[in-house]
Structure 1
Amino acid sequence: MLLMPPHVRFQRSYLDAVDEFDGQHRDGDGEWGAHPDGRYPGVEFTRAELETAEGFQRFVDWRLADRLEDTPRPAAFVPCTYLWMVEGDEYVGSLSIRHRLTDFLLNYGGHIGYSVRPSRRLRGHAKAALAQAIPRAAELGIGRVLVTCDEDNDGSRRTIEANGGVYEDSREGKRRYWIETNA
């Protein structure tokens, strides 16, 4: 499993994975629907648009640009590096590295979020992706990353702990772990 920047060659596999999620939250993939504050024009993607080559290219370009400080983004959002878990030509899942913490991210979201498509879970993909993301966070100057998971998500808890996560506390149903990056 390789962790890499989004690429248009994964269009069909990405959309198949979205169908697998069937409306479930996809942490690590961000949102691609209309943003509730309504002040973020040009970033709403419909499923129909993502089915087109041009629409998917625009989506990938937007994902790649979000890592830059000066990229326009909704209020309270921070620069974010989006990465995709892939095997061959198959999209397996997503991981995001948020470059800094807001109050919300400090309490609930953390620096790193990830999701694996349902048909590829329980195969070690999240564990491998998190291991590959930690040095990338260090390259961004993040000395230690906060990673969170739901209290009842034993798989994610094991993934975080296997990557050196040290439990700090739980807040409103979210377990909070810190991982040193050696930045």
Structure 2
Amino acid sequence: MPELVAPAMAVHRSYVEAMEEFRLEGRDCPGDDGGIGRKTGADAADWADPDVFARFVWSLRLQSVETTPRPDGFVPSTALWWVEEKEFLGALSIRHRLTPWLLDVGGHIGYDVRPSARRRGHGTAMLRAALPVAAGLGIERALVTCDEDNEGSRRIIEKNGGVLEDRRGVKLRYWVPTAP
């Protein structure tokens, strides 16, 4: 049964394969400022090297620490991977607080299911598993956004209790309770 775990070396091979799936669907193109888009650039070409991948995993884990240096406009975030045994199925990030941009566009929680694992309920289960983690970070209601034309993501958010607040540009903004 899949579970949310901290980024780990155990899924090295599978993670690299998943990032190639994302790259093939165009997630490394200019302008893709989502989590996967940013990750498939930079050092992704070197991830086959276990040492490079280990540094990447460590850098993700450090992002949850308040004092970790990060670019302007970025906040502490907890990276979690949706994994079944050694198979990477998806990634999720919980941003510990909202900036003006996150309030309008990005939200508290962002998630991606690898292309070959979609339409099997992983997104819904992954978000459901993340809500108690967000509650543990002091987030009472998580803002989760999606593009207005992303029917799958809309269903995932609504199945997890998301209540639509509004639309800003192409983004739908939902508030999701983090505790039952």
Would you say same fold, with TM above 0.5? yes
SS of aligned partner of 1:179: strand
2:76 to 67, 74, 79: 79
Pick from 97, 101, 107: which aligns with 1:100? 97
The answer (yes or no) to whether the contact 2:22–2:36 under 8 Å persists in 1 is no
Structure 1: unaligned runs, 5 residues or longer: 35-44
* 1:26 CA drift (Å): 8.3
Cα RMSD after superposing both structures: 1.7
**Distance (whole Å) between structure 2 residues aligned to residue 160 and residue 33 of structure 1:** 25
The equivalent residue for 2:38 is: 31
Please list every run of 5 or more consecutive structure 2 residues that lacks an aligned counterpart in the other structure.
Answer: none
8 Å Cα contact 2:140/2:177 also seen in 1: yes
In the alignment, what sits opposite 2:3? 2
CA distance in 1, matches of 2:79, 2:37: 9
Instruction: Kindly indicate whether residue 161 of structure 2 is the aligned counterpart of residue 164 of structure 1.
Output: yes
Count the aligned residue pairs. 173
Q: CA deviation at 1:29?
A: 4.3
Contact 1:27 1:95 in 2 (8 A): no
Q: Scaled by the length of structure 2, what TM-score is found? A: 0.91
1:34-53 per-position Cα deviation (integer Å, ceiling 9, x unaligned): 7xxxxxxxxxx423431111
Q: Percent identity?
A: 53
TM-score by length of 1: 0.89
User: Does residue 61 of structure 1 match 2:68?
Assistant: no
For the pair 1:116 / 2:117, whether they are aligned, the reply is no
Q: 1:49 to 1:114 in 2, by over 3 A?
A: same
